[in-house]
Amino acid sequence: MPKPLSSPADAMTAFLGIVGSARESLRKILVRGECDEYSDDHNMHCTARLVEMLNEYSNDLHHCPKSDPTRNFLMEEIHILEESRGIELPNFLPRTAFLSMLQKKLGCGLEGMLEESPSVASKREKLNMRIKLLGESKTVLGNIKDEIATTYLDS
């Protein structure tokens, strides 16, 4: 149990301690990627989750039947560039050639790649709920701060 607050200075010290602790926790999670405070909650491990998602996407692309590594390397790209007569700049792939290859490999265009997957949608919903909860917590803390200020300043 926290000790009873007997003065505005004690209340403000306790409040600033809570805010400082929350700020440090957010800095650890979001900036430094440390997750030692939340060892059981895997959703709080932002960096690790991002790496997992990128690895999963990379594996999906490598296991796509249309991107078979046993075929001649880059031959499809060369044919597309020759068709579009786009071999003009070195190390530059024209946009139309890129979109054409993307369509052949994934079976959909850029719009299909940008569609939200179910796993991303569920993570986005969880994040939205946490942001809403954080906003409500901020409002409650503001109300507590106002109540502390009025209680101790009036007496």
pLDDT at 1: 47
Domain assignment of residue 63, yes or no: no
Structural domains in the chain (count): 2
Domain assignment of residue 27, yes or no: no
Name the residue with higher pLDDT: 118 or 101: 118
**Rounded CA separation 57/35 (Å):** 24
Domain range for 130? 118-149
For 55-80, the pLDDT digits (tens) are: 777 777 667 666 666 666 567 777 76
pLDDT at 146: 84
Q: What is the CA radius of gyration of the chain?
A: 27
The alpha carbon of residue 26 and the mean position of all alpha carbons in its chain are separated, in whole angstroms, by 14
Domain assignment of residue 122, yes or no: yes
pTM score above 0.75: no
49, 42 in Cβ contact below 8 A? Answer: yes
Domain assignment of residue 99, yes or no: yes
For 17-50, the pLDDT digits (tens) are: 888 888 887 777 667 666 665 666 666 556 666 7
